[in-house]
Structure 1
Amino acid sequence: MTLIGKALHFSVDLVLISTCLAGIKRNTGITVKTQTIGDDNVRGYIGKYLNIGESCYDYTVATLASSQYFVRK
């Protein structure tokens, strides 16, 4: 695999992990404790990373809710 392919695969994996963490947060209320992690810069980047997952989760839920193949129960 080329370097670009590996970077793309790694970035998609990171987005999937962030989206899973967003789903866990929405369904259970459990979230990542960012107060104990590094300095303010690191916490800012982690916050941005987790917000990407929130956005992907929201987009996925909205897309599935408007699809004819899924129904809310």
Structure 2
Amino acid sequence: MGFIGKAIHLSVDLVLVSTCLAGIKRNTGLTPKIERFENPTVREYMVKYLNFGESVYDYTVATCGSSSNFTRK
């Protein structure tokens, strides 16, 4: 697998982890403690990363909610 393949694989993994963290936040209220990072730039990117996961989570829930293959209980 070349460099492009590895980069795509890593990107997809990062999106899945961020989306999983968004689901945990929505269902339990637990969030990662980003205050522990001393560097403000790292904190800023962590907030952006977690917000991106929430966007993907919202899009996925909306798509599944409008599909006939899923039902609400």
User: What does 1:13-32 correspond to in 2, within 5 Å?
Assistant: 13-32=13-32
Identity %: 66
Aligned partner of 1:70 in structure 2 is: 70
Aligned partner of 1:48 in structure 2 is: 48
If the length of structure 2 is used for normalisation, what is the TM-score?
0.97
| CA distance in 1: counterparts of 2:43 and 2:70, whole angstroms | 37
Q: Shift of the alpha carbon at 1:49?
A: 0.6
Aligned length: 73
